[in-house]
A and B are shown apart, each in its own frame.
Chain A
Amino acid sequence: MTKDKNIHTTPEFGVDSRYTSETVYQSEATALMEARLQRMKGLSKDDVIRAKLMQLKLKMQEFIKQPIHEKQHYFSIFLQQYIDTIYSKRTVFANDMGITPVQLSQIINNHRTPQDDFILKLMIHSEMIFKDVCDFQKELWYQVYSHEKLCKMMSTQHEWQAKLKQEVCVSEPIAKYEKKDK
């Protein structure tokens, strides 16, 4: 066995999985897809829910890492996805959260700002749901909400800055202290 061959048969050194030709790719892809479709038939409803919840968590984590987004209501989008993954009817979720279906509908459709109380309950709810799926930092909901708020504020600066600037002044500018020090 050559030295080079030794390297390439050491498992943890890595893998070169590049397809050598389009023909090889096509034939292997077809066989893999057929096998996967067979295996997918055995997936349980719970497996699908777990995958969707994991996907939701990863989406939320991606969102809070992004700098400033366009104006979009990510909190309510993620909330809808969360509810629709677990519940067949949103009214049941509203009941579980101790709010009315109308209140929930208003939050989802961005006609009502979610109150702290709602977000705290959502954190508790998520903790119960995710415990059998994956690690989930319950504060992620608050982080999404705050990040969305920040994005909204920063992307609408032109609307509020000029007006509010007139109401703000600095009575004791830093220059004053600089003079004192001298």
Chain B
Amino acid sequence: MIIKQIATGNLHRVQITPVQTNEYQKITKARYFFNWKTEKKYEVYKLCMVDSSEILGLISLQRIPNEWRVHIRLLTVSVENKGKNKAFEGIAGNLITHAAKIAILEYAALACVSLRPKTEIAKHYINTYNFMATGLTLSIEMPEIINLINRFDHDEG
């Protein structure tokens, strides 16, 4: 998985790993927009460059096996990566792809990743990642979910 540094155009390899209990201390609302400590009982993953411990993005997931679904509870990028002046591109896409991989791993052709953004930003997720809308819920399923994984996840050769 890679992200692009906007200023230089350089590509950087990233990894997505579970957040450890002792890391919540440094995950502040000022840098990551939400109170992530309340997510401790869910699966929370961080995105970092492979050679750095700086957290560039976070995602909190809930597996819902009886619906073959992985629900994105919270998703964010660090404050430096928000908006027009962001440092890196592709953080959110890689985090959503991580959720998609978990869904495929668990549920194969029945896999689904869902989220429910505010109406103002729903269009962005529909246009950028091919989510489909059902009421307030957006979801990505087969075959789009495979296309999303192929877009962001490339095996290291």
Contacts and interface: CB of A to CB of B under 8 A. Distances in A.
A48 to B, nearest CB: 4
Given A18-B74, A32-B135, 11 more contacts: A7-B33, A12-B124, A15-B121, A16-B73, A17-B72, A18-B73, A28-B134, A28-B135, A31-B134, A62-B105, A137-B155
A128 interface: no
A43 B137 contact: no
Given A12-B83, A17-B72, A28 B136 contact: yes
B139 A52 contact: no
B61 to A, nearest CB: 10
B150 A7 contact: no
Interface stretch (A34-42, A154-162, A163-171): A34-42
Interface in B116-148: 116-118, 120-121, 124-125, 128, 132, 134-137, 139, 141-143, 146
Contact of B104 (A17, A36, A43, A58): A58
Contacts of B92: 12, 14
A136 B64 CA distance: 28
Given A17-B74, A32-B114, A51 B135 contact: no
Contacts of B142: 43, 47-48, 50-51
Contacts of A48: 108-109, 142
B4 to A, nearest CB: 13
Contacts of B77: 12-14
Interface string A134-147: 11110000000000
B143 A28 contact: no
Contacts of A33: 67
Contact of B81 (A12, A51, A62): A12
Nearest to B135: A31
Chain A contact surface mostly: helix
B75 A36 contact: no
Interface of A: 7-19, 28-29, 31-33, 35-36, 39-40, 43, 47-48, 50-52, 54-55, 58-59, 62, 133-137
B109 A9 contact: no
Nearest to B157: A137
B82 A35 contact: no
A9 B141 CA distance: 25
B75 to A, nearest CB: 4
A40 B137 CA distance: 17
Given A14-B76, A17-B72, A36-B112, A58 B105 contact: yes
Contacts of B116: 15, 17, 19, 28
Contacts of B121: 9-11, 15
Interface in B75-117: 75-77, 81-83, 86, 91-92, 101, 104-105, 108-112, 114-117
B26 interface: no
